[in-house]
Amino acid sequence: MDVGQMIEYIDVLDEDMKPIAVATREEVHQKGFWHQTFHCAVMLQEAGKNYIVFQRRHPLKKTFPYKLDISAAGHLLHGESVEDGVRELEEELGISVDYKELVYLGMHKGVYLTEEYWDREFHHIHLLQTDWKLSDFTIQRSELIGLYQMEWQSFQAFLKGERSTVEAFGYEYNANGMMEERRIKAHQADFAAQGACWDGYFTYTFEQIEKALSRSD
């Protein structure tokens, strides 16, 4: 559990997604219990192009500090439904969204195990398409340190291994609490661990986004 975070209780599931117990968030990751999370990729639409929003995780996070990650994500707490997870968009990005505005992309089983951290998650992944600007978001600075946007076609090429880096434009807060605009070239190692397994989470998520976009054409 991150510093300053209140105790959270989470539904423990079996591998068939049936609830079997309730545990604290700390216990869930100490013992590797299966649990559910809500994920949402935000796609901005500017001047006829699509851009995917990535958050920059806070450098003091216990897991994946200062890594780039999906736009918004978080654990579903005890008794919450997948629809309740939409609160993550308001908590992390400061935007109020009705669940009906999201496209459900599917569920991905993610496993990330280290000596101290056992993570087994059912990721419920969503897409939000909007004409908002990056400046319209207000980030939760205890969890994030910045936001970046990456052009959709360029990121697809990067994900497929057709290029070694992908350009991103956005902002971060510096050590003095001042916001700085930044333009970076991100490598695979700059992304959170589920993305480092390049044939896993990110590949699944962005394949589903591509299918969703083709259906809406």
Per-residue pLDDT band for 44 (boundaries 50, 70, 90) equals: very high
Q: Which two tokens stand for residue 18?
A: 């049936």
At 1, is the secondary structure helix, strand, or coil?
coil
Closest CA to 60 of 200, 160, 173, 203: 173
Name beta bridge partners: 24.
9
- When pLDDT is averaged across residues 175-190 and rounded to a whole number, the result is 95
What is the model's pTM? 0.93
Residue 181 has pLDDT above 90, yes or no: yes
Residue 131, burial from CB neighbour count under 10 angstroms (0-12, 13-18, 19+)? exposed
Rounded CA gap, 208 and 52, in Å?
14
Residue 132, burial from CB neighbour count under 10 angstroms (0-12, 13-18, 19+)? middle
pLDDT tens, position by position, 6-24: 889 999 999 999 999 999 9
Rounded CA gap, 109 and 123, in Å?
6
Residue 102 has pLDDT above 50, yes or no: yes
Distances in Å between the alpha carbon of 125 and those of 36, 40, 102, 158?
11, 6, 10, 21
